[in-house]
Amino acid sequence: GAVVSQHPSRVICKSGTSVKIECRSLDFQATTMFWYRQFPKQSLMLMATSNEGSKATYEQGVEKDKFLINHASLTLSTLTVTSAHPEDSSFYICSAREGASADTQYFGPGTRLTVL
């Protein structure tokens, strides 16, 4: 149980284009989903927290107009990187929290974004 998927697993795009990443909870309803970014040999850095049906809460220093998050249902959240630049190249990972009171976050397999 508690399986989270991400799509795509890998994407290469040109500078200035937008990229959408999907995160799905496959066997549970996710009240809250989280988006992280991980640079090589670095830890996971939380970008934003999204609750189904409401606006995402962004961490300090994360541009909300650049990283658009939509959590339209209890099983799907999307992250859109708008006008991507090479410095946005990174490993993006989502996680989902099962249920209203559960503490544990289950992570997706990640999306490797490369901006040329």
Binding site for other proteins (CB under 8 A): 2, 4, 6, 32, 34, 41-46, 49, 51, 91, 93, 95, 97, 103-110, 112
- The strand pair at 10-13 and 19-25 is best described as unpaired
Query: Phi and psi dihedrals of 88, rounded to 5?
Result: -85, -10
Determine if the peptide bond prior to 8 is cis (ω within 30°). Answer: yes
CA distance 55 to 50: 7
Q: Which is nearer to other proteins, 83 or 104 (CB)?
A: 104
CA distance 76 to 74: 6
Minimum gap (Å) between residue 83 Cβ and other proteins: 26
Q: Which is nearer to other proteins, 37 or 75 (CB)?
A: 37
Minimum gap (Å) between residue 13 Cβ and other proteins: 19
Q: Which is nearer to other proteins, 88 or 98 (CB)?
A: 98
Q: Which is nearer to other proteins, 43 or 53 (CB)?
A: 43
Minimum gap (Å) between residue 49 Cβ and other proteins: 7
Q: Six-digit token pair at 65? A: 């107009």
